[in-house]
A and B are shown apart, each in its own frame.
Chain A
Amino acid sequence: MTNKHIIHKPIAPEIRNIALKHGNDREAALEVLKEIQTHHSALTVDSVTDAARSLKLPPHRLYGMATFYSMLSFEERGKILRVCDGPVCWLKRATTDDGRQTIDKWSSMVHGPWSVERTSCLGLCDRAPAVLVNDEQAGPADVDDAQKVCEGWRGAPTDYSQPRKGEVRVMTALIGKIDPDSIEDSLANGVYDGLKNALRKTPEETLAEVEASGLQGRGGAGFPVGRKWRFVASEKRTPRYLICNADESEPLIFKDRVLIDTNPHQLIEGIAIGGYASGASEAWIYIRGEYEYQARRLENAIAQAKSKNLLGENILGSGFSFDIHVHRGAGAYICGEETALIESLEGKRGEPRPRPPYPPQYGFRGQPTAVNNVESFCAVPHILKNGAEWWKSLSGYKTPGTKLYMALGHVKNPGLFEAPFGLTLRQIIEDFGGGMLDGSTFKFALCGGAAGMVVDESLLDVPIDYASAQQGISLGAGAFLVCDQSVSVVAMLRELLHFFAAESCGKCTPCRVGTWRSLEILNRMAEGKGQPGDVDELKSLADLMQDSSFCGLGQSVGIPMKSAMEHFGSEFEKAVK
């Protein structure tokens, strides 16, 4: 085939029309690809090339994306069952299979139009083991339930309307008390009061209030929200943007989904306040593709808010105009990293950018941008409504405010709850989680998230907040996977590394090869076939990834690896034959 032939081949009209529908907007490249896939049941080299030509992009750009995002595929699929391959679902299954064997079993159970795919984590840890049926979340469902799931069974979302003993509910206060899809209901229960209060203040006063509250980012790093907004507000260039990171893709973590499901207007309100305080004019909610249901709920909430002039032009006559858009991801954990998220939002592969410059200086479209977690935004309305002092008074600990926690694994009452900082792991298990399951004794917990620390019982009584990682127990995004004596630390680490290896973007060498190699070693160690030198190699790989990786993904892979080997070294030694 010659160049000439390629150039003169016309673009398929249906592809051109899809691109046109999205305004031939390069930032909509991911949407275009998804739509082509929906219409043609799969992507092809030709359709991807034509889409690239319609958007006036080099074909490799779209092909790179099409092969990057796990929800896009070149294989024809009818109905898709995405089986969660995350560590919580692995733990909750009644077998000793690793995640991959489970996927194979699912494949053998379903027929006809169904195809089975693995997904790194569905964010349904409180419904583990979980599956995603096309766009619909379902669980708990093990392999034996395959038929039932294909026939339409979905299960129900976990009910959090009843607070646990000891909970301090702020962001979760309205769970079960309002219809989340009704703005009237929300307004009647005080949602948007915080925004109204903010609009009575100047942006500077609003920002000062958030700064005074000491609210720390709830994504895991704990960076002060007010300070981040201050950076954006102090940049002279406009427009400035806000991004809400709802790409909650880390195993163990599902708080953002619950927040969106139970009170979407609280999030909209928080983002609007953030926009007012930081001088931003527009915001995007980047939500993971697996949360289609939640994305629609947010779109509905935004439309309702616009109809009440709580978003849009001249909000409530204040002169402040602000708009929020929902952008769906397509399956990539790395897009939770803020610069990768921005790249993805710009219609590219979700690969991190070098930092500095940080997003407040150079973010979305190169403009000043603040990226904040869903939970961070959800806390803001309450601070504006009740004041920074009230927010600080909620916590008897040095870290102010409340936090969402997720207790998972071998506890009697797993799930989500809200409480102040400074809880110990023992409190999380005993007071909130209802204690260990009968017959279970505590062996270890994975604290924070998949990239958190593995701790043993020696750390059960350390108060936890963003600073407690220094003492060996991390808060991260607030998830705690509690494991009993039956769980092998080596096998758990294997599942974690499988996750990281599958989700590494591949940009930098340490993470790209290091995760893969670590998984290879852990695979054989979990079978008791480790080789001499394996433990040392794991340690040096963990060090390398932590020190030298490009972004937070690779840098944090070493955390569970090193802490697991530190506390359970003998188990690793034993796995060497």
Chain B
Amino acid sequence: MTLNIKINGQLIQTEPGKTILQVAKEHDVRIPTLCYHKDLNPTGNCRMCVVEVKGGRFLQAACVTPVWEGMEIETASQKVMKDRKLTLELMLANHPQDCLICDAAGECELQDLAYEYKVEVPTWGAKGTRYPVDGDPNPFIRVDMNKCILCRRCESACAEIQVRDVWGVSKRGFSEVMVAGAGVPMLEARCESCGQCVAYCPTGALSNKMNYGVARAHQVKKVTTTCSYCGVGCQFDLLVKDNKVIGVQSNPNASVNGMALCVKGRYGYDYIHHPDRLVKPRVRRYLLESGKKPVISDQLSVISHQSSVISGQSSVVSDQWDWVDVEWDVALDVVAKKFAETRAKFGADALGFLTSAKCLNEENYLMNKLARQVIGTNNIDHCARL
């Protein structure tokens, strides 16, 4: 079945079941949106996407209105543009005018639309005085409800993508405000800090604490990469400033996960530049030199080294237990040698292999091959089974 509709005078053939916004997008007609996001169920709250439908008494929200046969739509009539501009004014009247120091500036959908529609910010309204800034004690997500425009994307993202149902709407009318759970701190409302709400927030109402104030959008280079935490293979963008990773951002084009990430992927990136991070394989010194494990007394002496020096007793301290940075080949040789020795002496079943959820399926498969075919044991297991 085909529907014939007109958008801005242009004849368009389309199928039933689509919204005005979908059809417009397919035909490169831009309709501005705020509460709409392609991943979330449309709600029609913000009224930015209103369009004029011929014969209709009211403007229609393009995101929730399905097309029907013979529909004639104007997406940028004078009335539409005037209403959108005034709607933006109403939002901005109660929005802090602190784009200068707002973390979202440069990638804020509200800012972009205000600019596009040349909105003059009204002098009236409550501008950033209604709620505590950084009002939630959780470690990752910075909450500033003064900047909230009540689009409710956070609620939808939490419910539909993460299925945690933390965010909700409370009160009504002008007093309406988003809350976590029954008006409690986020972590008490079952939040698992995935940060989906931050990713979907079109303004600076929800931002990240870890890199708050660290870089503007235009100052960072985005490097698309695959998460190293587990085998799912989520993709995201690392935000790089001055050759340092300062954050993680959802990449909407990620094929596996879309915008979704877990707490580790989104916030567990500080190991990258951590001073304790291992960047090379390490082996005990004795494995490189004698190959002979130092006797226990030597081992203890390492521990008692400090005290013996202080006590002035002379004691031979072994350095055989020290960690030494080596190349991969060296380290792998050591492992291979020990494996071979053990297998020769005690048989293949003296060896066991435990693989990691951080590895890919392919890597785990190879480990299985190594265990069963190369070494010859069925002693293989995986941490995800434990």
Contacts and interface: CB of A to CB of B under 8 A. Distances in A.
Interface of A: 1-3, 6, 45, 48-49, 52, 58-64, 66-68, 332, 334, 349, 354, 356, 501-510, 512-517, 520, 540-541, 543-544, 546-550, 555
Contact of A67 (B124, B149, B172, B185): B172
Contact of B173 (A6, A45, A516): A516
A506 B188 contact: no
Given A59-B189, A60-B189, A506 B90 contact: no
Contacts of A62: 182
B165 interface: yes
Interface centre among A334, A509, A514 (most CB of B within 10 A): A509
Interface stretch (B45-53, B201-209, B276-284, B376-384): B45-53
A491 to B, nearest CB: 21
Nearest to A61: B168
Given A354-B42, A546-B58, 13 more contacts: A63-B179, A63-B183, A67-B172, A502-B173, A503-B173, A506-B150, A506-B173, A509-B46, A510-B47, A513-B174, A543-B82, A544-B83, A548-B59
Nearest to A546: B58
A556 to B, nearest CB: 11
A68 B183 CA distance: 13
A509 B182 contact: no
B47 to A, nearest CB: 5
B93 A517 contact: yes
30 contacts: A1-B185, A6-B190, A52-B182, A58-B168, A59-B184, A60-B166, A60-B179, A61-B168, A63-B168, A63-B182, A64-B168, A503-B173, A505-B173, A506-B150, A506-B173, A507-B45, A510-B86, A512-B150, A512-B174, A513-B93, A515-B173, A515-B174, A516-B174, A517-B124, A543-B83, A544-B87, A546-B58, A547-B50, A549-B58, A550-B47
A26 B229 CA distance: 39
Contact of B47 (A1, A60, A517, A549): A549
A547 B58 contact: yes
Nearest to A516: B174
A334 B150 CA distance: 18
A482 B94 CA distance: 37
Interface stretch (B61-69, B219-227, B294-302): B61-69
Given A354-B64, A555-B58, A3 B187 contact: yes
Contacts of B94: 513
A503 B173 CA distance: 7
B90 A509 contact: yes
Contact of A49 (B150, B169, B179, B182): B182
Contacts of B79: 547
B247 interface: no
Contact of B175 (A45, A58, A61, A506): A506
B83 A60 contact: no
B44 A354 contact: yes
A463 B43 CA distance: 41
Nearest to B87: A509
Given A509-B90, A544-B83, A58 B181 contact: yes
B18 to A, nearest CB: 13
B129 interface: no
A interface majority secondary structure: helix
B248 interface: no
B152 to A, nearest CB: 9
Contacts of B86: 510, 540-541, 544
Contact of B188 (A1, A64, A504, A546): A1
Contacts of A517: 90, 93, 124-125
A521 to B, nearest CB: 9
B180 interface: yes
A540 B83 CA distance: 9
A67 B168 CA distance: 11
Interface string B82-117: 110011001101100000000000000000000000
B171 interface: yes
A272 B149 CA distance: 45
B72 to A, nearest CB: 17
B368 to A, nearest CB: 36
Contacts, number: 157
A455 B137 CA distance: 55
A504 B90 CA distance: 15
Interface string B125-153: 10000000000000000000000011000
Contacts of A505: 172-173
A509 B48 CA distance: 9
A541 B181 CA distance: 34
A548 B64 CA distance: 13
Contacts of A547: 50, 58-59, 79, 83
B44, B124, B172, B188 interface centre (most CB from chain A within 10 Å): B172
Interface in B17-61: 42-47, 50, 58-59, 61
- Lowest 5 A-B CB distances belong to which pairs? A60-B168, A58-B165, A506-B176, A513-B90, A63-B182
A263 B45 CA distance: 41
B182 A68 contact: no
A282 B90 CA distance: 43
Contact of B170 (A67, A508, A520): A67
A37 to B, nearest CB: 14
Contacts of B175: 506
Contacts of B170: 60, 63-64, 67-68
Given A52-B182, A508-B44, A548 B169 contact: no
A61 B42 CA distance: 19
B50 A506 contact: no
B187 A1 contact: yes
B102 to A, nearest CB: 20
Given A48-B182, A544-B86, A548-B87, A520 B173 contact: no
B50 A548 contact: yes
A66 B159 CA distance: 20
B173 A504 contact: yes
A510 B124 CA distance: 16
B231 to A, nearest CB: 25
Contact of B183 (A45, A546, A555): A45
A504 B174 contact: yes
B269 interface: no
A1 B187 CA distance: 8
Contacts of A549: 47, 58
A360 to B, nearest CB: 16
B74 to A, nearest CB: 13
B173 A510 contact: no
